[in-house]
Structure 1
Amino acid sequence: MRWGLTAGGRATFVPADLADLGELDRLTETVGEIGILVNNAGFYPMVPTVAVTPDEFQRIYDVNLRSAYFLTASIAPRMAAAGGGAIVNTSSIGARIGMPVAAAYSGTKAALESMTRSWSVEFGSAGVRVNAVCAGMIRTDKLLEIVPEEQMQFLGAQAPLGRYGTSEDIAEVVLFLASPRSSFVTGAVIVADGGVSVP
């Protein structure tokens, strides 16, 4: 099998609301057996703590954390039964540094990193590797709805590498963690943030 962002392949898109446990069940039944799971769903309203409503708080946790937990709970045993697999969780520098308008979001990412370590121990003997990528500021259409391009350019320039990240930057790390090239790596969190979280 060829590995790489340009290796080609085919994909089937299955829409699902990951905040809904019924939808999660439908999704896992639809996809059947898989060898790679990437928990990448995210909901991140960047607002002060006092502005987060109880319903919004619940959705942040349902999308960012509960979905990863129950997708892993459903799929990891199937991977184990098939002889192994790879799970990659998407964390954020919010788990590493203080962000004044992202307390709830950051909490989910810190918890996801902790679960990554626990799952690596729980499923490792069955050949299932569990790792995470801790992403920095990544230029996406969704982020641009919150952070203006000019501000992204400014913040990116403050990073040791002097720029913000791209989706491809993170995809390459995910690809490495999902591929046989990282066959001896589990329980790791690879930080890909241009150096922003370096003390």
Structure 2
Amino acid sequence: MTNPVLALNEQIVLVTGGARGLGAAISRAFLSQGAKVVINYYQSKDLAQQLAGEYPDNAVAIKADIRDRAQVDEMFAQAAQHFGTPVTTVVNNALVDFAFNGDARSHADVISYEELAAQFSGSIQGPLNIIQAALPGMKDASFGRVINIGTNLFQNPVVPYHDYTASKAALLSLTRTFAGDLGPAGITVNMVSGGLLRTTDASAATPEEVFDAIAAGTPLGAVTTPEQLADTVVFFASPWARGVTGQNLIVDGGLVRD
């Protein structure tokens, strides 16, 4: 039996860290296609409520620390109550306590496991909580879309952010292994990996010359924007990606070709 495929305007989409930077671009991209969107936030209450207020019929802002399973479960319950149906699509975008500043990064001889663990809590524990909380509703619908946000630093670690890259590499592994477990239930699991984006809160500390060097190394001659990456996230949720799972698509203007 073929599993059903929902159009974008039939989906209930939850975007973690969906109020600012890349998350806000992803939220807006789904809203522009008629999807209903749960804008998850942890500290950005004003921005989340402002964004939701622009789409009063299709968006709701809900606070939750994605590292806390009880808070995540409560968020899913609130979302289902608000829209009258469970979440069908999740985007694991939230970035916990990290900024892209190569001058301030911890080097290999001094980085602590606590720094690694802090990023694993955001990039693995958080997505794990989100996916598992979403599964009952997805399985009932025989439809689900999970899109994880990765990085092109797997292939091209131009700046060795040890903690961030290791945690995202683990998320890539989870993307591929979860695809095998969840595929029979009609749930796809994919990853979209960007490079340094111009510009988000996380990349605000990056010197201008770094952006210029990246742009010069791409076939498109430009640094990828949050909106461009968000387009690809929407693709993975759309009916056009119904046969794709366990994949990692790099969106960086062609900087990394792997």
Determine which of 63, 79, 91 is the counterpart of 1:38: 91
Equivalent-residue separation in structure 1 for 2:92 and 2:110 (angstroms): 27
Q: Distance in 1 between matches of 2:154 and 2:256?
A: 10
Distance of 2:199 and 2:66 partners within structure 1: 20
The one-character-per-residue Cα deviations of 1:63-82 (angstroms, maximum 9, x if unpaired) are 11210112112212320122
CA distance in 1, matches of 2:114, 2:70: 18
Q: Equivalents in 2 of 1:2, 1:26: separation in Å? A: 24
The question of whether the paired residues in 1 share the 8 Å contact of 2:66 and 2:129 is answered with: no
User: Percent identical across equivalent pairs?
Assistant: 27
Q: 2:234 is aligned with what amino acid?
A: L
Instruction: Indicate conservation of the 8 Å contact 1:19/1:59, yes or no.
Output: no
State the match for 1:173 in structure 2.
232
Aligned to 1:70: 129
Residue 196 of structure 1 deviates from its aligned partner by 1.7
Give the superposition deviation at 1:58: 2.4
CA contact (8 A) 2:115 2:163 kept: no
Q: Aligned to 1:134, which of 193, 197, 206?
A: 193
Q: Do residues 149 (structure 1) and 197 (structure 2) align? A: no
Secondary structure of 1:120's counterpart equals helix
Helix, strand or coil for the counterpart of 1:12?
A: strand
In structure 1, list runs of 5 or more residues that go unmatched: none
SS of corresponding position for 2:192? strand
What letter corresponds to residue 204 of structure 2 in structure 1? Answer: E
Q: Structure 2 vs 1, CA of residues 143 and 63 (structure 1 numbering), >3 Å: closer, same or farther? A: same
The RMSD of aligned alpha carbons is 2.3
Map of 1:22 onto structure 2: 70
- 8 Å Cα contact 1:49-1:102 kept in structure 2: no
1:78-134 Cα shifts (integer Å, max 9, x gaps): 201222111111110122222443111111111111111111110111111111111
CA distance in 2, matches of 1:53, 1:23: 28
Residues 150 and 15 (structure 1), Cα distance of their counterparts in 2 relative to 1, 3 Å cut: farther
Measure, in 2, the Cα distance between the counterparts of 1:169 and 1:30.
Answer: 30
Q: Please, which runs of 5 or more residues in structure 2 have no aligned partner? A: 1-6, 10-27, 36-57, 81-85
2:72·2:133 contact (CA, 8 Å) conserved in 1? no
Deviates more, 1:185-194 or 1:169-178: 185-194
How many residues in Structure 1 have an aligned counterpart in Structure 2?
A: 199
* Distance (whole Å) between structure 2 residues aligned to residue 180 and residue 192 of structure 1: 20
Q: Tell me, yes or no, if the aligned pair for 1:94 and 1:109 is still in contact at 8 Å.
A: no
- In 2, distance between residues paired with 1:149 and 1:22? 41
